[in-house]
Amino acid sequence: MAVIRFGGKPNPPAWLAMLHGFLAAAGLTLLAYAWATTAIPVLASVALLLLLIAAAGGVVLNLGYHLKALPLPKWLIVVHAAIAVVAFVLLLVAAWG
């Protein structure tokens, strides 16, 4: 989706943004459930926190810009993606470590 935005279009298609949000929320819910019901590594807990922050950025992107048909701010896309990638890498390290 970032490629679409950085490629010159103001926003990705709504269906793609909603699919992205739905899949991200599903994964986040599963990780939160694991955190609440079992002992997970500290890195996985940090990843959960970072993913929650990234999700908040995604909500701002969706409700504050996409829903209003405003161009998504590129800096927020980069911050949203960077936090999510760092969190995912931490989660992989926690899972395989």
Can you give the pTM of this predicted structure? 0.93
Nearest to 51 by CA among 67, 38, 40: 40
Residues 7-59 have pLDDT tens digits of 999 999 999 999 999 999 999 999 999 999 999 999 999 999 999 999 999 99
Position 97 pLDDT exceeds 90: no
pLDDT of residue 34: 97
Distance (Å) of CA 46 to CA 7, 25, 40, 43:
33, 17, 10, 5
As a whole number of angstroms, the distance between CA 45 and CA 87 comes to 10
How do the domains of the chain map onto residue ranges? 2-96
pLDDT of residue 61: 97
